[in-house]
Amino acid sequence: MWESLGTMRKYLWRYRWGMALGGLCLICKDLAQAVQPLMIRGAVDNFRNGNAFVRYALFLVGLAILKGFFQYWMRVIIIGISRDTEFDLRNDLFAHLIKLSPDFYARTRTGDIMARATNDLNAVRMMLGPGVMYWFETSLTFALAIAIMMRVDWRMALFAILPAPAVSFAVIFFGRIIHHRFETIQGMFADISSRVQENLAGVRMIRAFTQEKAEMRRFEELNKAYIAQNIKLVRMQGIFQPLLEALIGMTFLVVLWFGGRQVLAGKISVGSLIMFNTYMGMLVWPMIALGWVVNLTQRGSASLKRINEILREQPLIAAPPDPVPLGDVRGDVRGEIEFRRVKVDYDGTPALRQIDLRIPAGTTLAVVGHTGSGKSTLVSLVPRLLDPTAGEVLLDGHDLRRLDPAELRRQIGFVPQETFLFSATLAENIAFGVEKATPEQIRRAAEMAGLAGDIEGFPKGYETMVGERGITLSGGQKQRTAIARALIRDPKILILDDALSSVDTLTEERILTHLAGVMRGRTVILISHRVSTVQQADCIVVLERGKIVERGTHAELVEAGGYYAALSQKQMLEEELEAI
């Protein structure tokens, strides 16, 4: 718990002056409240003295106003700081998440991350706001009340604090159980969130395979288990609260009995007995609140532990302490890429083996090969989405690991195999990553990607909302939007990872015609299964089981009679058959 709370140290230090002011208001409020029973005792004991009675009554009114004033600012300041801390922690958590490497998201469910960023964050805020505030308020109220009661009659005060050891034991015992059960509940909430996220993302697949009822059954099972665990927690809390109240109620009876005897014996006044009774009433809330505060603390610490698990994750790819400036003496990036003895393993399984390849600046390299031959892994090394297990990848003679990844990626236009579009307008999706893109630049990029004609047919044109993940667009329109997004950056290096697989041959020919001018003067890496897409490349390499088995121009590879020649011949026959 204390290790988890260490995370919050910097946030609490950031708002230390506000916390100090809130603490001062808390102290003033508790002092005003602690003096009130003394005024009540004075009023009761001076009931027959009109002037004194009125004076004590006015003091009570003044104390009530002071208490209300300081209580208001206590809540505004401390609860406000808890909201500010939640805001800062949420921003830091999001900033950390977007820096993490793809391997983290490969092993962590999206729903689990969302549960930690929402439900767990709220539990931490409750611990830092109401939890901290009531912890100090009840502790100070308890201390002040006991101090005054001990000064008036120490024997009655001892009876008043009689349940304290039993309360402490109950808090420790039940607190541990509550903490464990809440951790379990948070884990189950993450399971539910993950299930909902996966089902909504794959709703079309669920309908296509008529799995609605099966998924509803699975979700109902998760939901039932979640509710059952919550009921167990509520039962434990249901035992905890009445137990505290029973201990407090017994103390009231003992104090009234002993105090009544003291009044009858003339040892204390009626006003003193009423004062004791009032202080006992003041102690009821601290004793009950203690259980609630412990509950908040246990929940908050369990949630903070889950958040810390994410914050402790470190990205595998990060900027070096002293990154090498990118570019030559003129500040220009030439775009020469070289792979030297590059090897990439995934959990011990080789994806690339001993890749030696040089791509001169301003040339086009095409990569072909069977599915799983390592094509996407090869191009992922260039923007440093992953690092080689062995060997090195160089840009203009610099090892990519010595460069700032952000600066490197600004020079690259990357169209991945799996297109991702945001729930925004077409214009916003094309201009993604170029903050000050003009409408003319967006239209030009769409024209080069062969998308302008389709957009003109939409009722709202470039302001058309594409829906989540581009659900309103066809596969080819999604790919062309991704190409336009890469081109608008005016990159020095352009990577197209099977970016034309979802378009027909005529559209592909039109896009390649537009791209011919764009590719000139840029370093281009083109992955495709179509010979028609790659045949104009300056160099073509064939990958098989992570190794380069062929390299050369289109004519050289056709003449060599290997995999590429067979692929070319097969596709030529397919085109001839389609033409018949």
In this structure, what CATH number is given to the domain that contains residue 560?
Answer: 3.40.50.300
pLDDT at 329: 40
Measured CA to CA, the distance from residue 384 to residue 244 in angstroms comes to 59
Residues 65-90: tens digit of each pLDDT: 999 999 999 989 998 998 898 899 88
In the DSSP assignment, the letter for residue 530 is -
Question: Same domain for 239 and 367?
Answer: no
The average confidence (pLDDT) of the chain is 83
In the DSSP assignment, the letter for residue 325 is P
41 phi/psi in degrees, rounded to 5: -60, -45
In the DSSP assignment, the letter for residue 326 is P
pLDDT at 291: 67
pLDDT at 260: 81
Measured CA to CA, the distance from residue 97 to residue 502 in angstroms comes to 31
Measured CA to CA, the distance from residue 416 to residue 485 in angstroms comes to 11
Measured CA to CA, the distance from residue 170 to residue 381 in angstroms comes to 58
Question: Same domain for 445 and 569?
Answer: yes
Domain boundary among 261, 277, 311: 311
pLDDT score of 301 more than 90: no
Question: Same domain for 181 and 301?
Answer: yes
Site of tokens 């140290």: 9
Backbone Cα Rg of the chain: 35
Q: Which of 10-24, 259-273, 531-545 has the lowest mean pLDDT?
A: 259-273
How many residues can be counted in the chain?
Answer: 580
Which residue has better confidence, 545 or 573?
545
The tokens for 439 are 């409408």
pLDDT score of 382 more than 60: yes
The DSSP secondary structure of 388-426, one letter per residue, reads -SEEEEEETTEEGGGS-HHHHHTTEEEE-SS----SSBH
Mean pLDDT of 157-183: 74
Mean pLDDT of 544-559: 90
pLDDT at 3: 58
pLDDT score of 310 more than 50: yes
pLDDT at 415: 87
pLDDT band at 330 (very low <50, low <70, confident <90, very high): very low
pLDDT at 392: 93
Question: Same domain for 236 and 350?
Answer: no
User: Are 178 and 236 within 8 A, CB to CB?
Assistant: yes
User: Are 481 and 451 within 8 A, CB to CB?
Assistant: yes
pLDDT at 9: 80
Query: Quick one: which of 510, 528, 518 has its CA closest to 493?
Result: 518
Domain assignment present for 519:
yes
Q: Which of 49-58, 279-288, 374-383, 471-480 has the lowest mean pLDDT?
A: 279-288
Question: Same domain for 381 and 428?
Answer: yes
pLDDT band at 180 (very low <50, low <70, confident <90, very high): confident
Which residue has better confidence, 417 or 502?
417
Domain boundary among 276, 311, 346: 311
Domain assignment present for 488:
yes
CA angle 438, 442, 444 (to 5 degrees): 115
Mean pLDDT of 536-543: 90
User: Are 76 and 18 within 8 A, CB to CB?
Assistant: no
CATH code assigned at 212:
1.20.1560.10
pLDDT band at 280 (very low <50, low <70, confident <90, very high): confident
pLDDT at 393: 93
pLDDT at 569: 86
Which residue has better confidence, 250 or 225?
225
Measured CA to CA, the distance from residue 560 to residue 551 in angstroms comes to 10
**What is the amino acid identity at position 214?**
A
Instruction: Give CA separation, 144 vs 37, 294, 481, 494, in Å.
Output: 12, 21, 69, 72
**Single pTM value for the model:** 0.69
Domain assignment present for 331:
no
In the DSSP assignment, the letter for residue 572 is H
Query: What is the domain count for the chain?
Result: 2
Instruction: Give the residues across from 343 on adjacent strands.
Output: 390
Which residue has better confidence, 192 or 469?
192
pLDDT band at 395 (very low <50, low <70, confident <90, very high): very high
Give the percent of the chain with pLDDT over 90: 14
The tokens for 82 are 């808890």
pLDDT score of 495 more than 60: yes
pLDDT band at 328 (very low <50, low <70, confident <90, very high): low
CA angle 575, 482, 376 (to 5 degrees): 70
The tokens for 363 are 């040339």
Question: Same domain for 163 and 26?
Answer: yes
Q: Where are the extended beta strands (E) located within 396-546?
A: 398-399, 412-415, 493-497, 523-527, 539-544
Domain assignment present for 484:
yes
CA 38 and chain centroid, separation: 52
Question: Same domain for 141 and 101?
Answer: yes
Mean pLDDT of 177-204: 78
Residues 137-157: tens digit of each pLDDT: 888 888 888 888 888 777 777
pLDDT score of 296 more than 90: no
In the DSSP assignment, the letter for residue 60 is H
Mean pLDDT of 201-230: 84
User: Are 502 and 475 within 8 A, CB to CB?
Assistant: yes
Residues 84-122: tens digit of each pLDDT: 988 998 899 998 988 888 778 878 887 788 888 888 888
Measured CA to CA, the distance from residue 379 to residue 541 in angstroms comes to 13
pLDDT at 10: 82
Question: Same domain for 50 and 160?
Answer: yes
pLDDT score of 2 more than 60: no
Domain encompassing residue 381: 337-579
Q: 10: part of which helix (H) or strand (E)? A: helix 9-14
Question: Same domain for 42 and 113?
Answer: yes
Question: Same domain for 242 and 363?
Answer: no
Domain assignment present for 249:
yes
Q: Residues near 464 by Cβ (< 8 Å), separated by ≥ 6?
A: 425, 426, 455, 458, 472
User: Are 431 and 488 within 8 A, CB to CB?
Assistant: yes
Question: Same domain for 400 and 363?
Answer: yes
The tokens for 222 are 């998760």
Q: Which of 28-32, 243-247, 385-389 has the lowest mean pLDDT?
A: 243-247
pLDDT score of 340 more than 90: yes
pLDDT score of 560 more than 60: yes
Domain assignment present for 560:
yes
